[in-house]
Amino acid sequence: MPLKAKLRLTLRRLWRPLGRARRSRGFGVHSPFAFRFITLVLRDSRSVYYSTGKIRDFAAGRRRRRNLAMLFRIVCDRKPQTLVLPPDLPEAERRVIHMADSRLQPITPAEALTLPAGSCRLFICLPELSAENLQAGRRVLSSEDSTLVLLRADSHRLATLKDGLDHIMTFTNGKYAVLVSRHGLPMQNFEINF
């Protein structure tokens, strides 16, 4: 590999984390929805919610508590009418979702496929993106104003979910991904720290 190409790759590796850190604070984000979602929902760890103490009680580790608090903020912000949860979702995530909105009755991906299109608003998915979860995820994303939270996402899964849809904003930190489908939003991808 020529020296110029190596230098370009090295500079790209150095610049990428810096750009990600800047976008995490809202710099360079021109969509009002994306700016609000990044700064208030994904990144705002200083918010005092009534569940902070409860999450601290049953989640071990600082990173785990931050991720559960972020999931709590997503559920509170998006206000889903219908919630799709895979049966193998860990208990901590289930408890956090229940604390965010105790009125929600979660359904499985198989049940989501039998509902009319547009009735599912939020889908929390695990790393294993089975065919059933993929179908349910695509159905949720094709609905108006819906959200899909993909725990431990990779670029192949994201591309599979977004294929053919043109109104999705993706927020990812390399490990987790939040896909927001809303007609009128441009197709954008944000790599941020959350």
In this predicted structure, what is the pLDDT of residue 9?
66
Total domain count, the chain = 1
- Token representation of residue 67: 């991720």
Q: Is the overall model pTM greater than 0.75, yes or no?
A: yes
When comparing pLDDT for 30 and 1, which is higher? 30
Computed over every residue of the chain, the mean pLDDT equals 81
Burial environment of residue 188 by CB neighbours within 10 A (0 to 12, 13 to 18, 19 or more)? middle
When comparing pLDDT for 81 and 10, which is higher? 81
Residue-wise pLDDT tens digits, 146-166:
888 887 777 777 888 888 888
d(CA 13, CA 122): 34
Residue range(s) defining the domain that contains residue 157 = 3-191
63-85: average pLDDT: 86
pLDDT category, 130, cuts 50, 70, 90?
Answer: confident
In this predicted structure, what is the pLDDT of residue 151?
78
50-68: average pLDDT: 82
In this predicted structure, what is the pLDDT of residue 109?
85
Give the three-class secondary structure for 171: strand
24-37: average pLDDT: 82
Residue 48 in this model has a pLDDT that exceeds 60: no
When comparing pLDDT for 92 and 126, which is higher? 92
In this predicted structure, what is the pLDDT of residue 6?
66
Q: What CATH number did the domain enclosing 20 receive?
A: 3.40.50
In this predicted structure, what is the pLDDT of residue 7?
64
**Could you say which DSSP state residue 79 is in?**
-
In this predicted structure, what is the pLDDT of residue 184?
83
pLDDT category, 1, cuts 50, 70, 90?
Answer: low
Q: Which residues of 2-19 are buried (b: 16+ CB within 10 A; e: fewer)?
A: eeeeeeeeeeeeeeeeee
